[in-house]
């Protein structure tokens, strides 16, 4: 039994050392798009631009803000909902996204098309 353990630990350690470079992720390798589904100058736009600046500093790559307006945010939400889920297209969501499936016929599967990846600083302050 001790012989088996003495063989097992070095094999596991070697496997972890060999796999470590594979675990390293080079994300992002290209600019990230942050879609704001509302017009420029509004609260979501200001928040999006602040977040883009902060993310650009943290990621070391440019985060580009794109405003896509129309239909209470539906037009702008279609783009990230239908984008490849590779982390290069982000969306600033609001409570309006929860209402879209009830109000509009969408070209994407409603709220199932999105996955939360973070909270805005304002959201974190409220939850404390």
d(CA 52, CA 127): 22
How would residue 25 be classed by pLDDT, with cut points 50, 70 and 90?
low
Q: Residue 21: what pLDDT?
A: 52
Q: Residue 100: what pLDDT?
A: 83
Q: Residue 62: what pLDDT?
A: 94
Q: Is the model's pLDDT at 15 over the cut of 80? A: no
Q: What share of the chain is helix, strand, coil (3-state, %, to 5)?
A: 55, 10, 35
pLDDT in tens, 27-46: 889 999 999 999 999 888 99
Provide the token pair at 125: 């302050």
Q: Residue 115: what pLDDT?
A: 82
Predicted model pTM:
0.71
How would residue 73 be classed by pLDDT, with cut points 50, 70 and 90?
confident
Q: Residue 56: what pLDDT?
A: 93
- For residue 90, give every residue at least 6 positions away whose Cβ sits within 8 Å of its Cβ, in sequence order, or none: 32, 33, 34, 35, 63, 80, 117
Q: Give alpha helix (H) positions in the chain.
A: 2-23, 43-59, 74-82, 96-103, 121-127
Question: All domains of the chain, ordered by start, with CATH?
Answer: 32-127 (3.40.190.150)
Q: What radius of gyration, in Å, describes the C-alpha atoms of the chain?
A: 21
Q: Residue 67: what pLDDT?
A: 95
Mean pLDDT of 108-117: 81
User: Prior bond to 65 cis, omega within 30?
Assistant: no
């Amino acid at each position: 039994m001790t012989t088996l353990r003495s063989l097992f630990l070095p094999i596991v350690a070697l496997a972890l050392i060999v796999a470590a470079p594979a675990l390293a992720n080079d994300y992002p390798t290209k600019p990230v798009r942050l879609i704001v589904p509302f017009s420029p100058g509004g609260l979501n736009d200001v928040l999006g631009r602040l977040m883009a600046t902060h993310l650009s500093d943290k990621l070391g790559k440019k985060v580009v803000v794109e405003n896509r307006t129309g239909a209470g945010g539906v037009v702008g939400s279609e783009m990230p909902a239908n984008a490849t889920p590779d982390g290069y297209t982000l969306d600033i969501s609001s409570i309006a996204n929860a209402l879209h499936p009830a109000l509009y016929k969408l070209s994407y599967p409603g709220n199932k098309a999105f996955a939360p990846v973070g909270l805005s600083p304002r959201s974190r302050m409220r939850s404390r």
